[in-house]
Amino acid sequence: MNKGLISGVVLLVIGLVCGLLLAVVNSFTSVIIKANEDAIVLASLNEVYEGSGNYDLDIVNGSGAIDKIYVLRDKLDDSIVAIVYSVKAFGYQSDIKMLIAVEKNDQSALVFAGYKVLSQAETPGIGDVIIGYDFKMDGQLITNIDAFAGPTATFTSNAVKTCFQLVSARVAADFGGIQS
């Protein structure tokens, strides 16, 4: 019985020491891992919002059709420079997933600053033309969704338009209200 108790205490001490060592290693590496993950995300966001690597990044989990919200903040005054939304809407036969960037223009109005279709599984040659398509939304006020210029695939184009509408509805709250 005495040997069983000693074995249990030895295992407990070994477990505590290993747990402590893991916690110490994690405290050093978690900062480096977060910085590397942020660098990877910023590189992808740079395809939608040029220069995104020059800002601090906050990642917020969204809800519903808006999956993630990437907030780009000025490194000096911590003000919001741009927000990039990961958003989706259903097209003809699949979800259309997009990144859509919004920023304030020179007149402090909220405008679309970039967008990219990340994934889709629409009909080849018809719905899939949205990849790389210019929807003419760069620089458009977030309230000006009527200016949307989509290709002829109605369901797919409507899904992309819905993505812009979802962002438009959400962005006013994220930037603290529409200012024009």
Tens of pLDDT, residue by residue over 35-48, are 777 777 777 788 88
Regarding whether 87 and 60 lie in a shared domain, the answer is: yes
Band of the pLDDT at 22, cuts 50, 70, 90? very high
Express each pLDDT in 55-72 by its tens digit. Answer: 888 888 888 899 889 888
Return the beta strands (E) in 31-162 as ranges.
Answer: 56-61, 66-73, 80-90, 95-104, 110-119
Together in a domain, 40 and 61: no
Residue 158 sits in the same domain as residue 92: yes
Average pLDDT over residues 129-149: 76
Q: Give me the domain span that covers residue 4.
A: 1-45
Q: Is residue 142 part of a domain?
A: yes
Q: Do 30 and 59 share a domain, yes or no?
A: no
Distances (CA, A) of 78 to 14, 42, 52, 61, 103: 45, 17, 14, 20, 15
* Confidence check: pLDDT of 178 > 50: no
Split into its structural domains, the chain has a count of 2
In this structure, are 29 and 118 located in the same domain? no
In this prediction, residues 107-115 reach a mean pLDDT of 85
Pair (83, 166) in one structural domain: yes
CB 58 within 8 A of CB 75: no
Q: How far apart are CA 50 and CA 36, in angstroms?
A: 19
Question: Cα-Cα-Cα-Cα dihedral of 66, 135, 129, 127, to 10°?
Answer: 60
